[in-house]
Structure 1
Amino acid sequence: MTDKNQALRILDANRNRGCEALRTIEEYFRFAWDDSYLTELTKCIRHDFNTAFAASGHTLLAMRDTDGDVGTNISTTTESSRASNRDVVEAAFSRLQQSLRVIEEYGKVVSEAVECELIEQLRYRCYQLHHSFASITAGRERLTDARIYAIISGQESDEDFDKYCTEIIHSGVDVIQLRDKHLSDRDLIARGKHLRQILNTVDLPPLFIMNDRPDLAVLTGADGVHVGQDELTVAETRSIVGPDLIIGVSTHNITQVADAVREGANYIGCGPTFPSGTKSFDSFAGVSFLREVSDRFQIPAFAIGGIDLNNIAEVVEAGFNRVAISGVLSTSVPQDVVSALQPLLT
């Protein structure tokens, strides 16, 4: 068999392998996650993958020799068993990336059979898709039962902060974000370390998120960091906090949500939903934005902005069962607020 015919046979096998892997991934996003955005991304990659072979489909099929394939009877024990659907998808991504590299290399021998430049672009798009999948999966695992996300300030004194933190922690919230634009870095670090110490004394403590500052998140032992649209990117933040801390991103429109997913955010905040007593805004994304996010994305998402017991029904009706609250905690008894919200966010 000539070099060209050998290459065509290899291309045929890896075209099939790549198509099968893409379909496996797409079905997971479609039926397991109900995520129309990632389903659409995967479908576009699959269509472009087929386009790369548009000129050689019949040629590749003619070189197929399944009966003569010495690899059909070779298998490993791990191939016949998967522990979870996630493992199925991870295996599919592995097969896909290997197939794309094989196609890119052997396509150089028979360049007329495949668009190698397009295959190279698809390989990078698949790397990005895999990153999004892994990041959202990590966020979903860390935030599985998280429904109420409390945003607190550093308070006026150490004593006030200690008292307020203890009250918030025991109210039953799932996440606590420390956000204070007025404290010095030293004071903010001190508050963050104290919060960490209190959390370490509690069974099943809420997650601790530092606002805006990945450097301070690391120094205070936080579980994650939340950044806005004007702060560091997800990639820049990840380079500081490392692989284990979760990263949240504030989003105000659908384009920003899509960007957060592509960049590898673990969760997002969506808003502002209503006018807030703790933060002023020029405009409001509103409930319609929440509804659009709920319809298209399955990344963990918290509605934020002026949410209280008077408007929580609108948030839930829009498809959200996670909320971030701040002002309502300082004007009411935190435990009463949380106890009233919890049954509404199941």
Structure 2
Amino acid sequence: MDIRAPEQQYNPYRVYTREEWARLRDDTPMTLEPGEFDRLRSLHDRLDLKEVEDIYLPLSRLLSIYVDATQRLYYAERQFLNIRDRKVPYIIGVAGSVAVGKSTTARVLQALLARWSPRPKVDLITTDGFLYPKALLEQQGILQKKGFPESYDLPLLLGFLSDIKSGRRHVRSPVYSHLTYDIVPNEWAEIDQPDILIVEGVNVLQTGKLPRDGKAVPVVSDFFDFSVYIDADEAALRRWYIKRFLALRDTAFTDPKSYFHRYALLSDEEAIATATAIWERTNLANLEDNILPTRPRATLILKKGADHAVESVALRRL
């Protein structure tokens, strides 16, 4: 079943063309300044005024409805149970392949949501910080599978999300360095009771194997109130990954401290061949085996075209 096909019988999603979705913006105001687009956009991703107006402002409006409804349910339940509980954040997951533009989407949503009235506190983390240290991945022989479900310290990530959802204060998240390709020792980001938390990562919608004894098997998405999957055809993803690799070869990889410094002197032909090999060995395998199968679990799917612009939006029916 193709969940993106509007004519599909028994489709659990409502599918909107870009034009249909853009009309749902209604009177949602543009709160981003023109100079912010470059700061929010990842390398070679698509982000301009039109994309924000057509895609992200309607999504911001929808999220405001979801957050408000969840808060009202929370207060009603608290009154019903006659309890006083800590404030708990609304958690939004952002999933999708490497190079699809997750970071751009997450940052744009953070910027837009933080400007709602009365200015909620919106934090953003990526699951990169919950990867096992490089030395441990090498010891286990799975460094080439970095980004696969088994490369994450799942108990640590689940503990972090459980603390956040419990309303605890000053919850620490490990910090990851893309320069060294490793966890930064003894460095933490602190999340302190946000109103909204955005969690971005390739496998945040991943499920676990079901136990035979019926015991609970928590997964990351158990803590999400809303989730977004960013979708694109494999050919486009491959092209975007190679293009990004070439750009990094001429920028970040030139730093002697970079884990990928050895690629800085590659010719265009060598760099394309290297990027293609990495894509097929690691990123494509992760996409096909782990990431893409989680797409039907998302609340909303943004389908991108070859130019990185969103072509259609699928929203799960209530």
The TM-score normalised by the length of structure 1 is: 0.24
RCO higher in structure (CA 8 A, sep ≥6): 2
Structure with bigger helix share is 1
The TM-score normalised by the length of structure 2 is: 0.25
- Rg larger in structure: 1
